[in-house]
Structure 1
Amino acid sequence: MEQVRGYEAVEFAQFDAEGFEIAYRLRNGYAAKLNLDTLYRRFEGKISAEVFDAVDNLLLPPEAPAGWDEVSPKLRPVLRRAGYGSVQVAGRNGRDLVLTRPALPYLSELVVIDMPSTVQFVTRQDLSRWGVDAEQVYAAAHANLTELAMNTMTAFDPPEGVRVLDFADDDGENYVGSLPLVAGWLAGVRARTGTIPLLFLPSHLGMLVVLGATPAAMPQLLALAAERYEAALRPLSAVPYTVDDNGDLMPLSVPEDHPAYGEIQHAQAQLAVGAYRAQTEKLRAEEDREGAIMELLHVRAPDGAEYTMTSWTDGATNLLPAADFICFVTGEGDVFRVAWDDVSALVPLELAAEYDPPRFRVHDHPPVEVMTRLRALAR
């Protein structure tokens, strides 16, 4: 914080102990967050001159191009955890929101300005300054990856057996991990190889593409993705993704008797709980929150099955995360859990659209007759 506040260019800076990051705004309007966990992991926890040099480079990037014609060729799409990107800086214009939209469950698409030594996230204020809308920004960012998308096609041929292609981006400069966002790219892979590709995004850099994946090979592939996820400087997701009939990216869904069903459930729960944990901490720190911010829990049953669960307490407004089960906690000490789909069939769960990842606004418990029916559905 002393180093950050020591720069004349820094207008405001605020340390977030829970997020272990410094949110700051420069006098030129640029706002961002300095993630200390990532910084210290990068240098293996050693405090050295290299750390302070890195802060210099991260904190004071060169001026981004000001006009749309100059900036549009430098735009690139990127994937981040849902909820990533809001910057809270006290004392000025409140919140400067990074441009973001849902891409996959618990993953969002953002856009960066690619500059020689750093990247700068596009914000809502940038749209006003450039005189464009969000769709124009996303379209330009995707178009800038067209050449890369075409060049990667030479790596794909019909596989003989299971084939794993590791598309690395160690320095974060080629954006190959963003190609799944480009319309038609995965569909092109499927057409060229004659197989339905499998995709892993364990880190925010690079990706793994698997051709010819068989059910028997899936547990080993999930183990590889989990290993990459745990070792990543900025982990993203260990969930396997594939392409639907329309060529769109989607999470892989398998039946309960699939050899990798348990591993996939674990990866999906891990992703959801991580996204909601960060959101819960942020919302609970806000003084003007509207109700109880309920947690998402990752539960492992004695038989090894994994699922997510949240709680609905009576007599208050609850903001529930999406979960596999809802646990009802009554004033009489009665506690029982019901599958989310069973609850939503009997009770209207109001989507609170302002939250990402999504939350559902509920108030008092349902009437006695509905609670009786819910108890009968308890598992």
Structure 2
Amino acid sequence: MSRSDLETQFVEKARARGLLVREQREDGTWVVVVEGREFVVSLDNLRRNVERDADDGAIDGFIEGLLDTGRPLPEWEEARAGIRYSAEESQSVAGYPEVLAEPVTGKVSRVLVHASEDERSIRWLTRQELVRWGVGAPELHAAARENMSALQERTAIEVQEVAGAPLAMLKTDSVFKASLVLGPGFRAAMEAALGWPVLVVIPCRDFFYALRESDSGLLGRLGGVVVREYTGSGYPLTNEVLRVSDEGIRAIGEFPVPP
């Protein structure tokens, strides 16, 4: 699908769902009004997903996500089950200082989010939600840790041998696949499958590889697919190699990305 065709479909479908699409700005972004609030929307990530996965339904999903931004979140007792940690590009988070985010590396941040049950709607949380719910940050983090642990328990780990070394992958369709590296159950899961500490690559939110630190020579074989996923995904995260240990998460190198 060409860029112009995608933009035309987006505008037509958004207007059919009652959204006000005002204008395309000089930088290629669009001004969309949702429930009286203006949002500046980039279609670049959407275009990459459509091109990579040939998923025309991604446009409808994108619009549904915009509509969700205008809907109030449920009250705390119901919302608690949807609290997660999400790995996000730090440069995307930087423009929103009100968001509950903490840097993990130079390129990745940990963001507190609320996810709908089907994970089609992911909302970055702010202190405004804490006030409305009447809860503190400790309660929010406790809910995120609990839910990430539950997701980790439901996620099988597949280990394949590559060049004589074990390579671990997470078997889940959850959009929080890469984000599991941020959860409290990650160490136990990796230690059982590979040992500890591990090296991890998460080029986009639905891609994950882990290997033993002693098998770092395997990284050269992974570079091509990591860069392809990082540059081609609608939800890129990082081209970094992450060392995950008891000391936390640290970037120890990067795969070169072509200009």
Q: TM-score range by the shorter chain?
A: 0.7 to 0.9
Q: 1:107-126 to 2 correspondence within 5 Å? A: 107-115=108-116, 116=118, 117-126=120-129
1:139 aligned residue (134, 137, 142)? 142
Q: 1:39-118 to 2 correspondence within 5 Å? A: 39-44=46-51, 53-61=60-68, 63-85=71-93, 97-115=98-116, 116=118, 117-118=120-121
Which whole-Å CA distance do the structure 2 matches of 1:23 and 1:15 have between them? 6
Give the gaps of 5 or more residues in structure 1: 88-94, 253-263, 271-297, 299-379
The aligned counterpart of 1:311 is none
Deviation at 1:97, TM superposition (A): 3.0
Distance change >3 Å, CA 250–CA 50, structure 1 → 2: closer
The aligned counterpart of 2:5 is none
Distance change >3 Å, CA 121–CA 190, structure 1 → 2: same
The aligned counterpart of 1:164 is 167
Query: Cα deviations across residues 185-240 of structure 1 (Å, max 9, x unaligned)?
Result: 22652366435321110112231112365243332233442233233232211211
TM-score by length of 2: 0.72
Q: Are 1:34 and 2:41 an aligned pair? A: yes
Distance change >3 Å, CA 194–CA 122, structure 1 → 2: closer
Query: Cα deviations across residues 326-367 of structure 1 (Å, max 9, x unaligned)?
Result: xxxxxxxxxxxxxxxxxxxxxxxxxxxxxxxxxxxxxxxxxx
Residues 47 and 234 in structure 2, CA contact (< 8 A), matched pair in contact too:
no
1:149 aligned residue (142, 146, 152)? 152
Distance change >3 Å, CA 34–CA 136, structure 1 → 2: farther
TM-score by length of 1: 0.52
Deviation at 1:78, TM superposition (A): 0.7
Q: 1:167-182 to 2 correspondence within 5 Å? A: 167=170, 169=172, 173=174, 175-182=176-183
Which whole-Å CA distance do the structure 2 matches of 1:156 and 1:39 have between them? 31
Which whole-Å CA distance do the structure 2 matches of 1:209 and 1:49 have between them? 31
Deviation at 1:144, TM superposition (A): 0.5
SS at match of 2:45: helix
The aligned counterpart of 2:248 is 248
Aligned-residue CA RMSD (Å): 3.9
60-69 or 232-241: bigger deviation: 60-69
Distance change >3 Å, CA 129–CA 118, structure 1 → 2: same
Residues 204 and 233 in structure 2, CA contact (< 8 A), matched pair in contact too:
yes
Which whole-Å CA distance do the structure 2 matches of 1:32 and 1:225 have between them? 31
Which whole-Å CA distance do the structure 2 matches of 1:237 and 1:243 have between them? 15
Deviation at 1:101, TM superposition (A): 1.5
Distance change >3 Å, CA 36–CA 153, structure 1 → 2: closer
Higher-Rg member (1/2): 1
SS at match of 1:104: coil
Identity %: 20
Residues 158 and 170 in structure 2, CA contact (< 8 A), matched pair in contact too:
no
Which whole-Å CA distance do the structure 1 matches of 2:56 and 2:177 have between them? 31
Distance change >3 Å, CA 55–CA 97, structure 1 → 2: same
Residues 112 and 122 in structure 1, CA contact (< 8 A), matched pair in contact too:
yes
Which whole-Å CA distance do the structure 2 matches of 1:77 and 1:129 have between them? 20
The aligned counterpart of 1:225 is 226
Which whole-Å CA distance do the structure 2 matches of 1:198 and 1:174 have between them? 21
Residues 76 and 144 in structure 1, CA contact (< 8 A), matched pair in contact too:
yes
RCO (CA 8 Å, sep 6+): is it higher in 1 or 2?
A: 2
Residues 86 and 98 in structure 1, CA contact (< 8 A), matched pair in contact too:
no
Q: In structure 2, what residue type is equivalent to 1:242?
A: R
Give the gaps of 5 or more residues in structure 2: 1-9
Which whole-Å CA distance do the structure 2 matches of 1:55 and 1:153 have between them? 28
